[in-house]
Amino acid sequence: MFPKLGLIVAFLHVIVNADKSGIPNDSQSPVANEVEDERLNGSIPKTPRLYLACDREKSLLRRHPWIYSGAVDRVEGRVRSGATIDIYDDKGNWLARASWSPLSQIRARVWSFIEDEQIDVNFFLHRLKVAQRLRTSLATRDSLDSYRLISGESDGLPGIVIDRYGDFLVLQLLSSGAEYHRENLLKALKRCYPKCSIYERSDVAVRKKEGLRKTQGVISGDQPPHLLHIREHDMSFLVDIVQGHKTGFYLDQRDGRIAARKYAIGRRVLDCFSYTGGFSVSVMKGGCREVINVDTSQQVLDIAKQNLALNRLDMSRARFVRDDVFQLLRRYREEGETFGMIILDPPKFAENRNQLASACRGYKDINMLAMQLLEPEGILMTFSCSGLMTTDLFQKIIADAALDAKREIQFIEQFRQAADHPVAGAHPEGLYLKGFACRVE
């Protein structure tokens, strides 16, 4: 009798310690009990914690949103790539709530400096609404239907870029934290912009640094047409959001485009790295004598032709040259060509600090060549979109290029990215586009 009773007791013990699937509940093991007791006692946080090394909290106290790997002392708790993690100083004081990027030199990107703010749909809704208020005022002022809606850290949403082209939102998720909160962000976007289609262009190389694959395609709504029609000031443009550079168009150059026309009156203009003709449309509207568009891609030059035609401009005053800009400038110098105005808006020369020295040489070389082709009192509009290139360094490079070109220059106007690409006070790295208009004697 007693052996049977023992079997019954053992059977009941298994039933009591089983979950609903009938599998024994391992949480009742001694180790699991210890972890559970610690969680109940509060010694293991619900949100994982990152503790900074001694005296490494100064940038966070100034609200800079990045935490580099060298500032990290330890991480407590299990945390998935992209998940939320709370930041503490070495004394245990709470500092910020961030996303965890274990594969990046930037180990954490701050979402919030408010301790009771949760990173959920409402968080993204609030950020979107704040950002939209700025863009609405700009769109009204400048007659825009296209603009940058979210500019990453500058709008309190690190790793997230959203450009609006009419009824299309083009999304880029550039960090593991942005990817982790994809669904919360999309829910917020659909609530704020229920009539807009959403297209993703997360096809950029920086995702690899975060351990993410490139991805592209329709998220919701309609498939975009081959070319979207957008409006900017008194100009119209056709934009390819599927295959075009960035999200389709250089929205950040809006101020530069409108400024260029006042310098172009009656001049022969060389537009280098012309892409789809944004500057060319503007200088032709400003009354230039002729404009030559130069790019290595025939596809974008064909769109540039369409953009000039769309704005009903005199095509006989425009030429389109498919060539390498550096080689073409040298050839023009040998042939004795001259121009009244040259626009240099090259792609990024420096992707990282190791490339900065070679980028400086590249900027100096191309600006020197351009100055040698300018007529006396000609205008050079020159830009750098390399975030590592400071404005002061870029200005010095231009001045040095003038010495090598044996030309005297005056800096007459300074440019930066348009206002829909703001720069947060605590994140000066957000200022990536800089440029100058120079009068070349």
The DSSP bridge partners found for residue 418 are none
Tell me which CATH code domain 250-440 carries: 3.40.50.150
Per-residue confidence (pLDDT) for residue 351, from 0 to 100: 84
The active-site residue out of 196, 288, 360, 385 is: 385
Per-residue confidence (pLDDT) for residue 390, from 0 to 100: 95
Residues in the chain: 441
Q: Tokens 């550079």 identify what position?
A: 245
Our CA dihedral for 202, 208, 212, 218, rounded to 10 degrees, sits at: 20
CATH class of the region 49-112: mainly beta
385 flagged as catalytic: yes
Alpha-carbon distance of 336 to 330, in angstroms, equals 10
Q: Of 301, 316, 305, 291, nearest to 381 (Cα)?
A: 291
> 242-265 burial string, b = 16+ CB within 10 Å, else e?
bebebbbbbbbbbbbbbbbbebbe
Average pLDDT score over the chain: 91
- Global pTM? 0.87
Per-residue confidence (pLDDT) for residue 46, from 0 to 100: 80
**Domain-wise residue ranges, the chain:** 49-112, 121-220, 250-440
Indicate the fold that domain 121-220 takes in CATH.
Transcription Regulator spoIIAA (3.30.750)
- In the chain, which stretches have pLDDT less than 50? 1-45
Alpha-carbon distance of 114 to 58, in angstroms, equals 17
Q: How far is CA 172 from the centre of its chain?
A: 8
Q: Of 433, 432, 424, 430, nearest to 63 (Cα)?
A: 424
Convert the pLDDT of each residue in 248-282 to its tens digit: 999 999 999 999 999 999 999 999 999 999 999 99
> 188-222 burial string, b = 16+ CB within 10 Å, else e?
bbbebbeebbbbbbbeeeebeebebeeeeeeeebe
Contact 154, 424 (CB under 8 A): yes
Alpha-carbon distance of 120 to 115, in angstroms, equals 14
Q: Tokens 């389709």 identify what position?
A: 248
Q: Tokens 């009941």 identify what position?
A: 12
Q: Which residues contact 199 (CB under 8 A, 6 or more apart)?
A: 168, 169, 170, 171, 217, 218, 219, 224, 241, 242
DSSP for 88-110, please give it: E-TTS-EEEEEEE-TTSSEEEEE
Contact 240, 227 (CB under 8 A): yes
Contact 352, 383 (CB under 8 A): no
Structure tokens at 424: 């947060």
- Other CB atoms within a 10 A radius of the CB of residue 158 amount to 23
Q: Of 247, 283, 284, 258, nearest to 147 (Cα)?
A: 247
Our CA dihedral for 260, 261, 265, 271, rounded to 10 degrees, sits at: 50
Per-residue confidence (pLDDT) for residue 192, from 0 to 100: 97
**DSSP assignment, residue 315?**
G
Q: Which residues contact 15 (CB under 8 A, 6 or more apart)?
A: none
**DSSP assignment, residue 420?**
T
The DSSP bridge partners found for residue 163 are 148, 170
